[in-house]
Structure 1
Amino acid sequence: MTASPDDARHLTFTTLDQLWSSGAPMMLPIEGDPPCRLRLDPRNGLITLITAYEKPEPEVANLLNVGFDAVSSGEEDLAELTVRIAGNVHGAYGLLATIADQLQVQKLPLAVAVAAGVARHREVLAGRGALTTEKEVGLFGELLFLEFLIPVMGAGPAIAAWQGPLSEEHDFTLGSVDVEVKTTSGDGRRHVIHGMDQLVAVRGVPLSLLSIQLTRSAPDWGRTLPQLIAQIRSLAGGHQVAVDAKLDTFGWRTADADLYPTSWVLRNEPRAYAVRGDFPLMTPDVVGPVIPSFGLISDVSYRLDLTHLEYDSLPYPLADFAEAKEN
């Protein structure tokens, strides 16, 4: 039974608009069992359904603009399901009214009632979703290098050198060298190269591939992605706006920070590999001459295993980030 303006159990949208525009908070009971109330909070842009608490709790962690709390009121345990209004007060109200109907009319358990209401009102909600583990690890590696660069170069130059994923440049352009950062959580230095141009030097600037290996750790030993981002923002000072803009291009959203519980730590020292001479790679210059109609090929990715390849050193003042080259 879905709430609508004609449903006598609920407000019409006209009445809802009048109450909402008044700006005054209020509590609206919904007749039935279990008892349900709707709390309107126009000033803060929130509508909350309050009802009896029961387990299992509804799963709303992957929904943007929806929150759930279990609260105690005297001897009573209550469930509070809150929707933050995102320009659609009718949709938010309709969602919570539908959940109340599922509880009181259909007699569904709380978690089932919420799931049924969400299924009927998907348009109210924006889905939350973490980056894939591959993208999380990749961003973590770039931020580790940025964290190193800021005290070495200064926040402004270091952040300007970080290009972000939408740039046609390499990950870091540092004047004397470009750096392409590749990060893996595997036990070997196996990295995916996206496209045959990713390891092509540009503007005649030498290019190094920086290989970083991470491993999961206990919270006391490592850091989560949100913790590393918080540190970068702190180091950035007045350049935080530029950091945030580049984080946006990765798909990072601060509101989703709770979706990244994994703590990461370096598995071993990073290593740098100069992309020159006999470095193994596929580029248009290398592959093009041996493949007929080469121009018809696109979207090429390949995996490099650098585990046992001889490594190099980064130039000063970057050298301290990576393992020193063996003599």
Structure 2
Amino acid sequence: MTEQSEDARHLSLANIDFLWTSGHPVVLPIAGTPACKLDIHPANGTITLITAFTPPEPEVAKWRNIRFRPVDSDEGDLAELAVSVEGNLHGVYGLLSSVADQLQLLGEPLAAAVATAVTKHRNLFAGKAGLSAEKELGLFGELLILDCLIGMIGSGAAIDSWQGPMSEEHDFVFSDIHLEIKTTSGEQRRHMMHGFTQLVPLRNVPLSLVSIQLTRTNHKGGLTLGQMVSGVRAKAGGYRPMVDAKLAAMGWNDVDVELYSTFWTKRNDPRAFDVDERFPALTAARLAPAVPNFAVVSDLSYRVDLSLFSPRTLPGALAGLVSVDEEQS
């Protein structure tokens, strides 16, 4: 005989423990309207709430261990809210029981019921941090250049040149040129610079800033960051482990892929600008003579508008990466 919890709607935690440790899948109906049932599946490590689907979809992408999908079935349009247990059986059962209560006892729509229950139980689930919007754009831009380079000079040479995660180097390093990649979603070529060393040429090798402008689009005209990652990985071939290591160093995590839902496309062709004596780079060598006690300044961020600067070509095989057309849109 099964024990009910105090509210008589749900099984006791002792019974949930028994069902889970038995290892056998079981479906538990929860009395009420709309119909709800819990699919307890120890082998998969999940418990799934199944109920009628009413749009909009609940927003769960930012939460680890929770996923949602609409399902067509003979019973009509259904919603499946699956949660990975990962050692937190009681918490997961409590969360999904709360969703059912919000639906059946309070009559909340599905998306609202899920949001309310997650708020009540949010301490049980680590939120997905993901990359900031600036870092998402930055990684997309670097992968865009890497993708082009693979087609130009081959996957080995292109991936070896990509140094983005290494703070001591510029984003792409070649024997005759270094490239610092800057990406914006703005209508003008205004880019944020960070620190005193980002625009300092190294080892007497010329440095160019490659400016990329992206714009939002739809699935027919662009790619998400996740799709860009997948495309570069596919082209990397045997060099994929190098790509994966550098992606991880930049903060990429495959479990966060749903966070990056924006489709991006190039607003125009990338352009390169020489980082020379005329370029407004705020470096330690330039600032120290003018700023009192400069040694105690630890960080710096500033924005540069490149719209008045003339784009340059890149040497050799890299020339095709950028345009020298001065039109900005």
TM-score, shorter chain, exceeding 0.5? yes
Residue matched to 1:195: 195
Residue matched to 2:16: 16
Is 1:102–2:97 an aligned residue pair?
A: no
Taking the aligned partners of 1:43 and 1:175, their CA distance within structure 2 comes to 54
Q: 1:143 to 1:102 in 2, by over 3 A?
A: same
1:210-264 deviation digits (Å, cap 9, x = unpaired):
1222233454443332332222111101221221222223333334434434333
* Unmatched runs of 5 consecutive residues or more in structure 1: none
TM-score under structure 2 normalisation?
A: 0.86
Residue matched to 1:313: 313
- Contact 1:70/1:80, CA 8 A, preserved across alignment: yes
Residue matched to 1:26: 26
Classify the secondary structure of the residue corresponding to 2:316.
coil
Q: 1:183 to 1:54 in 2, by over 3 A?
A: closer
Query: How many Å apart are 1:200 and its aligned residue?
Result: 0.9
Q: 1:74 to 1:216 in 2, by over 3 A?
A: closer
Residue matched to 1:58: 58
Residue matched to 1:266: 266
- Contact 1:313/1:325, CA 8 A, preserved across alignment: no
Query: How many Å apart are 1:318 and its aligned residue?
Result: 1.3
Query: How many Å apart are 1:201 and its aligned residue?
Result: 1.6
Taking the aligned partners of 2:264 and 2:149, their CA distance within structure 1 comes to 20
Classify the secondary structure of the residue corresponding to 1:29.
strand
1:253-287 deviation digits (Å, cap 9, x = unpaired):
33443443433333333222222222221111111
Deviates more, 1:167-176 or 1:217-226: 217-226
Classify the secondary structure of the residue corresponding to 1:63.
coil
Residue matched to 2:235: 235
Is 1:295–2:291 an aligned residue pair?
A: no
Residue matched to 1:36: 36
Residue matched to 1:213: 213
Alignment of 1:134-213 (within 5 A): 134-213=134-213
Taking the aligned partners of 1:227 and 1:137, their CA distance within structure 2 comes to 13
1:55-81 deviation digits (Å, cap 9, x = unpaired):
554332332322233445545544332
Classify the secondary structure of the residue corresponding to 1:64.
coil
The residue type paired with residue 65 of structure 2 is: N
Deviates more, 1:156-165 or 1:107-116: 107-116
Deviates more, 1:183-192 or 1:27-36: 27-36
TM-score under structure 1 normalisation?
A: 0.86
Q: 1:277 to 1:74 in 2, by over 3 A?
A: closer
Residue matched to 1:277: 277
The residue type paired with residue 260 of structure 1 is: Y
Query: How many Å apart are 1:324 and its aligned residue?
Result: 4.6
Is 1:250–2:247 an aligned residue pair?
A: no
The residue type paired with residue 200 of structure 2 is: V
- Contact 1:185/1:214, CA 8 A, preserved across alignment: yes
Q: 1:132 to 1:96 in 2, by over 3 A?
A: same
Query: How many Å apart are 1:185 and its aligned residue?
Result: 2.1
The residue type paired with residue 80 of structure 1 is: E
1:64-110 deviation digits (Å, cap 9, x = unpaired):
32223344554554433211223322221121122233334455443
Query: How many Å apart are 1:19 and its aligned residue?
Result: 2.1
Taking the aligned partners of 1:45 and 1:159, their CA distance within structure 2 comes to 37
Taking the aligned partners of 2:123 and 2:68, their CA distance within structure 1 comes to 19
Taking the aligned partners of 1:116 and 1:216, their CA distance within structure 2 comes to 31
Residue matched to 1:116: 116
Q: When the two structures are aligned, how many residues end up with a matched partner? A: 323
